[in-house]
Every structure is written in structure tokens, then in C-alpha cells.
């Protein structure tokens, strides 16, 4: 996490961890949805730049396993995304 807001804003253009890892594995949203047992439409929502809502811990673990990445990496991305949306909405 960030120790101050300046660090957060420097990282404001964070990469979409879910989408970039899915694409690097050459998976479609539909393929990932089957591997993670999460609907394709929900994966589409999670990949959007703007904040919709965060996945549950169970969903983060499922997506992480399907993508062979650390759950913490994905969790941190969604935490940062939520913080970004809260700051923008003020």
C-alpha cells in the first residue's frame, strides 16, 4: 500500500493486473471464466478501468489460481482500484 497520497497518484495509471495476466496467458474472458468458475460478464466488469465493485477473497483466489499468479498481487490491484475510485468521487 501507499505511505502517502503522492505515491498513490504517481501510480495512478496502474496496469490492469487481471487483464494483463489474462492476455499474457492468451486466455479469453470466457476461457478464464470457466477456469475460475466466475461468469464472463463479471470478469468483464472487473477488467473495466472504472470501479464497479471488488471481487470477494474467494473470487480473487480462484482468479489467481486460474492465472497462476499470487493472490496478493491481484488483491492489491483491486484495493488500489477501489482507493482510486473513492478519491476521484470526493
pLDDT band at 53 (very low <50, low <70, confident <90, very high): confident
Distinct helix (H) and strand (E) counts, the chain: 6, 0
Residue-wise pLDDT for 2-30, tens only, equals 444 444 444 445 689 999 999 999 999 99
Nearest to residue 59, comparing CAs of 85, 81, 32, 83? 32
Q: Is the pLDDT of residue 46 over 90?
A: yes
* More confident of the two residues 4 and 61: 61
**For the whole prediction, is pTM greater than 0.75?**
yes
pLDDT band at 52 (very low <50, low <70, confident <90, very high): confident
Amino acid at each position: 500500500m501507499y505511505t502517502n497520497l503522492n505515491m498513490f497518484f504517481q501510480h495512478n495509471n496502474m496496469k490492469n493486473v487481471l487483464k494483463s495476466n489474462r492476455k499474457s496467458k492468451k486466455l479469453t474472458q470466457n476461457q478464464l471464466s470457466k477456469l475460475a468458475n466466475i461468469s464472463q460478464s463479471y470478469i468483464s466488469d472487473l477488467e473495466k478501468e472504472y470501479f464497479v465493485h471488488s471481487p470477494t477473497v474467494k473470487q480473487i483466489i480462484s482468479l489467481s489460481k486460474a492465472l497462476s499468479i499470487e493472490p496478493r498481487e491481484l488483491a492489491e490491484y483491486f484495493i488500489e482500484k477501489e482507493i482510486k475510485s473513492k478519491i476521484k468521487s470526493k
